[in-house]
Structure 1
Amino acid sequence: MSTTNIPASSQWAISDVLKRPSPGRVPFSVEFMPPRDDAAEERLYRAAEVFHDLGASFVSVTYGAGGSTRERTSRIARRLAQQPLTTLVHLTLVNHTRDEMKAILQEYLELGLTNLLALRGDPPGDPLGDWVSTEGGLNYASELIDLIKATPEFEQFDLGIASFPEGHFRAKTLEEDTKYTLAKLRGGAQYSITQMFFDVEDYLRLRDRLVAADPIHGAKPIIPGIMPITSLRSVRRQVELSGAQLPSNLEEALVRAANGNEEANKDEIRKVGIEYSTNMAERLIAEGAEDLHFMTLNFTRATQEVLYNLGMAPAWGAEHGQDAVR
């Protein structure tokens, strides 16, 4: 696959993608994480081919703590964009000065990577730890948005932000969380992608809060972030890292499926998890979600199983007579 520079015009703006008609019941998109080695990176590209064939509306690439995956993030995003896939790059403020942020933005612009998710980011080593400012750096995602909007050469960037159905754990109240989210939307962000959540009511109440507080900017698309559940251990770890809550009824169902031995009963755990994720997606579609954003952990099977259950993808695996999974 070619690795020459791509023109910015080859990428749709995510805010425009969300307005386009979908061949399926609803558009879907996927999140990738920069892998740790070359073998894992090749697996990511194979997964990207699958999601390209399944018609993903866009893909996103996360950004390692403190810029630890900066080079790999930009290389992966560049290659995905050439697939071609509309590609969203995450960018955090952690351990970067203001000048470094401008240099990164200029690099993305030159690569044609003009879809950006503006994030403050988590402290390295402890995502739930105290935020430590970088000398000469920025402290809030809203400041990154202001920087972009105040710089004429960055006008091509289409901006998204994170939103939090249960409220950001650093916000004292849901009202405070709403205020900060709206400040970023008013500042120029066109949409948000939620942190993973497991109770659709939390997503709906977030949507209600934003619209009630600002009928114009609060009505911008809120894309639900869904992590298909395949393992009790994994979902507990993801919840621990994100600060999200695992509903007691879901955890109890997964524990019953494990029956005291997660490894021996992993297929039963997966069955419960995929069914739960499918039911979440069905409800979100019924409630008018503009897109379903799947957090894939760089795998394809679980997301494709949910999509199949929704009538949006072939059944998983070669035994079904198709090659959607290579």
Structure 2
Amino acid sequence: MKRISFEFFPPKTDEGRTKLLTTQQKLLAKTPAFFSCTFGAGGSTRDNTREMVDKLREQHADTAPHLSCIGQSREEILELVRGYRDSGVRRIVALRGDLPSGMGYAQSEVKYADDLVRLIREETGDHFTLEVAAYPEMHPQARSFEDDIAHFKRKIDAGANSGLTQYFYNADAYGYYMDALRRTGCDAPVYPGIMPILNVANLIRFSGVCGADIPRWLRSKLDDIKDDDQAVKAFGEEVVTRLCERLLAMGAPGLHFYTMNQAQASLRILDNLGL
């Protein structure tokens, strides 16, 4: 049985929150292992994330808050971790996080994701399943591919259970990444992050920010059809379905969907896969 999970971001309005709960109800039909809810740079969505996690969990759905360490004090992090533990949350996505504008690393007491994992384990033992980030195409700030692999292994050695990847559209990148991890002796499961293609301009913008590569052939085709929303969605569905088919055939243990708080694209891809 392949593990399926879905990622949301915390809406800023009551209307957005209501729509997200409707989206969750649709996605529950696929019996996901969990939902996750993102956390803004430097904790900028701290309260929204915590509130949304509580609402999502009301549907008896395992929900994992994202928790980043940059921009927060050690005590602020522990306050969140204890609160989640006491409310019954059993899974956290532990991240370094992005630096807010104008902030330097020296201002953060906990600087890296492996330090955050270690801190959570020291405070709560094995209470939480800890997911961490993985980058098949290399983190944009990594010094080298080898350093990036070593950093992921440090997160696992610190106590993380598994990885969720940045989205990508080149299955070979995932295969090469997994081979490199195995050569280091790291056998933790790594779940590919899947980004359905809904809007060309948004995809290009997101990819530029996070360092995800859009292959030249894909970018060219999307440029040709970018003004036809239906054509973009149909082509995107086909491309991402084929990507998922190949990843699962390569042995990926499951899929983690970046939903953009929408249900239909992810549902169609899962239906195409027979999952």
| 1:1-326 correspondence runs (5 A) | 22=1, 26-125=2-101, 132-133=104-105, 135=107, 137-151=109-123, 153-214=124-185, 218-258=186-226, 262=227, 265-312=228-275
| 1:257–1:272 Cα contact (<8 Å) kept | no
DSSP 3-state at the match of 1:91: strand
Higher strand share: 2
CA–CA distance in 2 between the matches of 1:42 and 1:137? 36
Gap change, CA 1:144 and 1:157, over 3 Å in 2: same
CA–CA distance in 1 between the matches of 2:64 and 2:156? 17
> Which amino acid is 1:233 matched to?
A
Name the structure 2 match of 1:19.
Answer: none
Q: CA deviation at 1:47?
A: 0.6
In the TM superposition, what whole-angstrom CA distance separates every residue of 1:115-148 from its partner, at most 9, and x where no partner exists? 01110101225xxxx9722536211011111212
- Computed over aligned residues only, the root mean square deviation of the Cα atoms, in angstroms, reads 1.5
CA–CA distance in 2 between the matches of 1:54 and 1:276? 21
Q: CA deviation at 1:269?
A: 1.5
DSSP 3-state at the match of 1:195: strand
In the TM superposition, what whole-angstrom CA distance separates every residue of 1:235-283 from its partner, at most 9, and x where no partner exists? 101101211111001111111223xxx1xx1111211111111110111
Runs of 4 or more, structure 1, over 4 Å off, are none
CA–CA distance in 1 between the matches of 2:206 and 2:108? 32
CA–CA distance in 2 between the matches of 1:76 and 1:139? 26
Q: CA deviation at 1:212?
A: 0.6
Q: CA deviation at 1:154?
A: 4.5
| 2:71–2:100 Cα contact (<8 Å) kept | no
| 2:207–2:214 Cα contact (<8 Å) kept | yes
CA–CA distance in 2 between the matches of 1:295 and 1:132? 28
In the TM superposition, what whole-angstrom CA distance separates every residue of 1:60-92 from its partner, at most 9, and x where no partner exists? 111111212111111211222231111111100
- Unpaired runs of 5+ residues, structure 2, are none
> Which amino acid is 2:114 matched to?
S
| 1:94–1:134 Cα contact (<8 Å) kept | no
**Higher CA-based Rg:** 1
Q: CA deviation at 1:108?
A: 0.9
In the TM superposition, what whole-angstrom CA distance separates every residue of 1:298-322 from its partner, at most 9, and x where no partner exists? 001111111121123xxxxxxxxxx
CA–CA distance in 2 between the matches of 1:193 and 1:30? 11
CA–CA distance in 2 between the matches of 1:140 and 1:92? 9
CA–CA distance in 2 between the matches of 1:235 and 1:101? 31
Q: CA deviation at 1:27?
A: 2.8
In the TM superposition, what whole-angstrom CA distance separates every residue of 1:142-174 from its partner, at most 9, and x where no partner exists? 1111212223x4441221110000111111111
Aligned residues: 275
> Which amino acid is 1:279 matched to?
R
**% identical aligned pairs:** 32
> Which amino acid is 1:76 matched to?
M
